[in-house]
Each structure stands twice: as C-alpha cells, then as structure tokens.
Chain A
Amino acid sequence: MVELLAQTGLNAVYAASYISLVAVGLVLIFGVMGVVNFAHGELFMAGAYAVVALYADMHVPFFVAVAIGMAFVGLLGLLMEWALFRPLKDNPLGGLVASIGFLMILQSLAVMGFGVRMEHIPPVTQEVVRFTEKVGLPVARLYVIVAAVVFLSALWYFLKRTRFGWALRASAQDPEAAALQGISITQTARIAMFIGAALAGVAGALTAPLVSVNPHMGHSVIVTAFIVIIVGGVGSLEGAILASIAYAFVHTFVTTFWDGVLADIVGLSLMLIVLIVKPTGLFGSADRA
C-alpha cells in the first residue's frame, strides 16, 4: 500500500510538471494580453507532432527535436499574436473566437499531415530510476520534471530580475501606465506570446513519447489548464503552479483508486466550487502575471 501511494505520488509529480508548463503559459498570455487562448492545447499538440516528425520520422536526436519543436511552437505563438490577437485587441470575445478558429486549423493540419491515427514514437530511453523494487520513475518522465523546474525557474528569474520581465509585469498590471513609461505594449505582448506558446510546445514535445499523440489530444490539455488557472486564480503564475500540483495529485489519486472519468468530474467540481466560493482563485491576488 505504501508503495502504491509512493508510486502514485511520483506519477502525480510528473503530471504536475507538464500541466504547470501549459498552465503558466496560458496565464502569462492572459495576464499580458487579456485574451483566453483556446488554442493552447493545440500548441501542446503541435509540440508533440514536432517530435513525431523530427525524432520518430527523421531520426533527429530527441533533445534537438524538442528544442526545434519548442522554437517552432513559440513562432506559432508570434504568428497568433500578429495575425489574431493584435488586430482584435479591443474585442475580447473576438480573440476567443479567433483562437478557436486557429485551433481548428492546427487540428486539421495535423490530420492532413499525419492522419487521425495515434502516432507511435520509439521510446527515448527505457531506463527507470528505482527507489524500491516496486517504486520507480522512468527517466523519460524525469526529463519532463527537470524541464518544468528549469524552465519555470528561468521564467521566474526573467520576470523578477530582468528589465524585460519588469516591463512585462508592468504592462500586465496596467497597460496604459506602462505605455506612458515608454514600454512597448506590442513588444511585451510578443514576448509573452512567444514564451507562453513555447512552454506549451516544450511540454508537448517532451511528453510526446509518453502519451498517445493524436490530432485531438489538445482537448483534455486545455480543459485541465482551465481548471488549474481558475483554481489558482486567473493571472497568478504562482497560483497556477501550486494549483497544477494540487490538481495533479487529486486527479492522479482518484484515477488510480477509482477511475479517470470520475477524476475528471472531481476536478471540474473543484473548479466550480472555487468559482462559487472564491472566484479570484485559491491563491489569487489583485496583481497579474
């Protein structure tokens, strides 16, 4: 029993890692641009397909494929900012609809390029870090955990310690005042969109060998990310990370001891309760990003 609990705990840490990468990107985009990016799950999917194309089909080394995938999805983010969110700046519902349109385009491109069937990716490594005989952490999962820690720390440093990060937080807090101080709102939006998309991309790329890659995989990702950012408080990066961890533990444990659909119901119910009781989220505060 203890071993089962420990193993489930490790699985939850892995889940928390990729969920927080996706959710933090979503929060960053919402904080700076004020738009809900429904296509965020498809950016995750695009990262996974980059690995399918480069690593599985063209035999590029795995980490090179991940890096290219990350950059590629970041560029997709820039494209979205330029083509969709900037022209629709004053139309929040419009940004949402446009991102749904973009989501359909990405899904359709994945179907046309790779087919609807699940992709098989050769495992990157079969090694497992064993703690006891029955408790182990596959190294491929460890990569995801390490990546989450590294990238989120880097993001934290960037936001809190650099001039760019300072400008980004300023324009999230009050775009007009930031613009008056000479901060380019367009520039900060571009940076936020690139980082947010790239984080989703790297999460998708790293988890690609571990999950079933298919054109519709973004759906469950975006639902999870929404739950997490609501529970954590929309606009709070720390909240998103803490909520990712909490959600991952609840979901993984309910899935292990009961079933997956029930875990989804529990997750959504938690979100609904948070919305009713404390709409600013459990860790939410007034300041964004």
Chain B
Amino acid sequence: MRNLLIFVLGSVALIALPYGLSFSQQEILVFLVINVLLVTSYRLMTLTGEWSLGHVVIMGVGAYASALYTKELGIYVPVSMILGAVTAALLAVLLSFPLFRMKGFYFLIGSFAAGEIIRLIWKRFREPFGGVRGISGIDPMPDFSIGIYQFDFFEPVSYYYFAGFIVIASLWVLWRIEKSPVGLTFHAVHWQDKLAQASGVNLRAYRTLAFAIASGFAGLAGALQAHYVGTVNPNSFDIEVMVFVLTWAIVGGTATFYGPILGCIVLTVLNEIVLREMGLEQARPLIYGAIMILSILFLPDGLESLVQKVTRRKSAPKPEEKAAT
C-alpha cells in the first residue's frame, strides 16, 4: 500500500514537473532524462569493474546509426531508435575483442583510443557521416495521440513524457538485470574474479555481456537525443561530455543503483539551473571543477553515502560494495 502511494505520488510529480519550468528549463529536463539513462547504463558497465572512457562515443554510435537509418533507408523513427541501440550493442561486442585484452588503467586508455578513433572517422568521412558538421535535418519523432494526450514533438514537454517513459522502462530493465543471477555474476566478476572463474563462470563472456547491454542502452539514449535535437556531430560526443558522465557517476557514487542518477540530477540542476540563473556563465566550469574536487576529497563514497546515512537502511551495504567508489 505504502509503495503504491509512493509510486502514484512519484508519477504525478514527474508528470506535473515540466509545468513549473520555463521553456529552456523544459529543454534541459529532456536532456536530463536522457542523461539519466546514459549514466545508469554506464553504471552497469562499472559493475564488472571496468571504467570506460568510450561510453559517450557509443551513445553517439546509437545517435548516428538511428539518424542514418531514417535518412538513408527511410526507416520509421521509433524502429530506427531500436535499431540504433542494437547497432551500438553490436559494435560493443566487436570492440570487446581488442578491448577486453586490457584491464584497469589500460582499459581506460584503450577505450578512450577506440572511442576517439570512431569519432575521428565520423569527422574524416563526409560520406555518410557528414564530416565535422555531422548530420542535420534528422526526422523528428512523428506526432501521435494516445487518446487523453496529444504528443506534439515540437514541444519539449511532449518529448519529456515520451523520453521519460522509455527511460523509466529502460531503468526497470536495467534494474531487473542487476538483481537477476546475471547481475550478481557481474558483481562476482568484479570482486571475486578468480573464485568466479574457478566456479565455471566465463569472465570474458560476462564482461562482454555487460559491455553490450550497457552500450545498447547508451545507444538508445543517443537515438533519443538525435531525434530530439535534429542534428548529430562529432563534437557533441567528445571527451568533455564523457568527463561529465564520469563525474556524475563518481560524485553520485556507484555502489547503489540510484547513486549515479542522483549525481546526474544534482550536478545538472546545479550546473544548468542554479549557476546559470546566478549569471555566472564564464565561471561555470570553474565552480563545477571545484565541486568535483571538493566532493572527491570530502565525500569519497559519493552522494549516495549521504542518503544511506539518513535512511540507515536495514541491509547495510556490503563492505566490498563500498570499496567500489
């Protein structure tokens, strides 16, 4: 009963949310929803212990693929979004062959190199990727009606509802994966790799699986963004964007499912709304950088550790999980 109440109140709050905001804030809200999916998919990847610097480029793969499918092949937009996500996942499987020969720091740098190569290929080849300017005039999501609500995708509010629905459904899938035996195996691959291997777990296969699933959802996030913005270009998926994703995950903490989401929401609101409203346009990266440093110095377990202190959960997090941040 109590859970149902929370669910209903939460839904109403999420539906009512855009009406209190200005137009530009509604647009930020759309990106925020997409970024929540991006950072949550990133966390699935980190469950197996590998930190990638190529995740945003994988998101871009979904965006480029979905844009090209609609533009070149005339595929219906929602279908092309799914195909974009599938393309990103398949590319991840392909990339896993070179990348999973590396671990730790080498994987970090290797994933950066692989991502940067993909990004430079978009930049270098005008056919079909459009070079530096990228692809513009991507078909928007076609308007439709569900009886009580008319979706008009020129309005950010409509796209917020549409993306929000897909993101919540995706989060639910990601949550179920993490709580399934497969998800528990991901944890085992990270913390007890020798033991897991001795128990007959194929480490490489599970790492690849986590990478592919995470990349698929990142690709979906990219496709959602591409059909909202209408353009994709190499620079919107560069290392600076990746740094933001990394920061959301680390400032929020990666020991819990909600940690990265919390980090994403808090930092985005702070960066896009509070600092912008205060008129500190040029100083924004400075303050953002200072917040990153302060939070890593004084809150090494992330924002989620604050939440845990407040709620004092019955099941205290395992000590190994704490070490994840």
Q: Is the CB of B98 within 8 A of A88?
A: no
Interface flags, A247-277, vs B, CB<8A=1, else 0: 0000000000001011011001101100110
Q: Is the CB of B120 within 8 A of A265?
A: yes
A264-B250 contact, Cβ under 8 Å, with A88-B296, A98-B297 = no
Query: CA A92 – CA B250 in complex, angstroms?
Result: 12
A230-B109 contact, Cβ under 8 Å, with A101-B293, A272-B117 = yes
Query: CA A103 – CA B286 in complex, angstroms?
Result: 9
Query: CA A109 – CA B287 in complex, angstroms?
Result: 11
The interface stretch among B79-87, B100-108, B189-197 is: B100-108
Q: Is the CB of A261 within 8 A of B123?
A: yes
Report chain A residues within 8 Å CB of B98.
272, 275-276
A275-B286 contact, Cβ under 8 Å, with A98-B296, A104-B292, A265-B121 = no
Query: CA A130 – CA B106 in complex, angstroms?
Result: 44
Report chain A residues within 8 Å CB of B297.
84, 87-88, 94, 98
Report chain A residues within 8 Å CB of B300.
91, 94
Report chain A residues within 8 Å CB of B176.
none
- In this assembly, does B177 line the interface, its C-beta being within 8 Å of a C-beta of chain A? no
Q: Is the CB of A268 within 8 A of B116?
A: yes
Query: CA A111 – CA B284 in complex, angstroms?
Result: 11
* Nearest opposing residue in chain A for B121, CB measure: A265
Q: Is the CB of B282 within 8 A of A94?
A: no
- In this assembly, does B10 line the interface, its C-beta being within 8 Å of a C-beta of chain A? no
Q: Is the CB of A97 within 8 A of B296?
A: yes
Query: CA A219 – CA B242 in complex, angstroms?
Result: 13
Query: CA A23 – CA B153 in complex, angstroms?
Result: 49
Interface flags, B84-116, vs A, CB<8A=1, else 0: 000000000000001001100110011011101
- In this assembly, does B243 line the interface, its C-beta being within 8 Å of a C-beta of chain A? yes
- In this assembly, does A154 line the interface, its C-beta being within 8 Å of a C-beta of chain B? no
CB distance from A113 to the nearest CB of B (A): 10
CB distance from B24 to the nearest CB of A (A): 22
- In this assembly, does A17 line the interface, its C-beta being within 8 Å of a C-beta of chain B? no
Q: Is the CB of A93 within 8 A of B250?
A: yes
Q: Is the CB of B106 within 8 A of A279?
A: yes
Q: Is the CB of B116 within 8 A of A279?
A: no
* Nearest opposing residue in chain B for A94, CB measure: B296
Query: CA A56 – CA B137 in complex, angstroms?
Result: 44
- In this assembly, does A108 line the interface, its C-beta being within 8 Å of a C-beta of chain B? yes
- In this assembly, does A107 line the interface, its C-beta being within 8 Å of a C-beta of chain B? yes
A268-B120 contact, Cβ under 8 Å, with A100-B247, A108-B285 = yes
Q: Is the CB of A97 within 8 A of B283?
A: no
- In this assembly, does B228 line the interface, its C-beta being within 8 Å of a C-beta of chain A? no
B-facing residues in A107-151 (Cβ within 8 Å): 107-109, 111-112
- In this assembly, does A36 line the interface, its C-beta being within 8 Å of a C-beta of chain B? yes
Q: Is the CB of B116 within 8 A of A223?
A: yes
Q: Give the interface centre of A97, A109, A227 by most chain B CB atoms within 10 Å.
A: A97
CB distance from B96 to the nearest CB of A (A): 12
Q: Is the CB of B283 within 8 A of A112?
A: yes
Q: How many residues of A contact B (CB 8 A)?
A: 40
- In this assembly, does A105 line the interface, its C-beta being within 8 Å of a C-beta of chain B? yes
- In this assembly, does B289 line the interface, its C-beta being within 8 Å of a C-beta of chain A? yes
- In this assembly, does B290 line the interface, its C-beta being within 8 Å of a C-beta of chain A? yes
Q: Is the CB of B117 within 8 A of A265?
A: yes
Q: Is the CB of A264 within 8 A of B110?
A: no
Query: CA A284 – CA B300 in complex, angstroms?
Result: 33
A269-B117 contact, Cβ under 8 Å, with A97-B247, A102-B289, A105-B290 = yes
A105-B105 contact, Cβ under 8 Å, with A94-B300, A97-B247 = no
Q: Is the CB of B112 within 8 A of A226?
A: yes
- In this assembly, does B288 line the interface, its C-beta being within 8 Å of a C-beta of chain A? yes
CB distance from B224 to the nearest CB of A (A): 26
* Nearest opposing residue in chain A for B120, CB measure: A265
Report chain A residues within 8 Å CB of B117.
265, 268-269, 272
Q: Is the CB of B289 within 8 A of A104?
A: yes
Report chain B residues within 8 Å CB of A111.
282, 285
* Nearest opposing residue in chain B for A103, CB measure: B289
Q: Is the CB of B282 within 8 A of A112?
A: yes
A271-B113 contact, Cβ under 8 Å, with A97-B296, A262-B124 = yes
Report chain A residues within 8 Å CB of B288.
101, 104
Q: Give the interface centre of B109, B239, B290, B293 by most chain A CB atoms within 10 Å.
A: B293
Q: Is the CB of A105 within 8 A of B113?
A: no
Report chain B residues within 8 Å CB of A105.
285-286, 289-290, 293
Q: Is the CB of B109 within 8 A of A109?
A: no
Residue from the list A36, A108, A262 in contact with B282, Cβ < 8 A: A108
- In this assembly, does B51 line the interface, its C-beta being within 8 Å of a C-beta of chain A? yes
Query: CA A70 – CA B136 in complex, angstroms?
Result: 45
CB distance from A71 to the nearest CB of B (A): 24
Report chain B residues within 8 Å CB of A36.
105
Q: Is the CB of B105 within 8 A of A272?
A: no
What residues of chain B have their CB less than 8 Å away from a CB belonging to chain A? 51, 98, 101-102, 105-106, 109-110, 112-114, 116-117, 120-121, 123-124, 239, 243, 246-247, 250, 282-286, 288-293, 296-297, 300
What residues of chain A have their CB less than 8 Å away from a CB belonging to chain B? 36, 83-84, 87-88, 91-94, 97-98, 100-105, 107-109, 111-112, 219, 223, 226-227, 230, 234, 259, 261-262, 264-265, 268-269, 271-272, 275-276, 279
Smallest CB-CB A-B distances: 4 pairs: A104-B289, A101-B292, A108-B286, A101-B293
List 11 other contacts, CB 8 Å, given A87-B297, A94-B296, A112-B282.
A93-B250, A101-B288, A104-B285, A104-B288, A223-B116, A226-B109, A259-B124, A265-B124, A269-B117, A275-B110, A279-B106
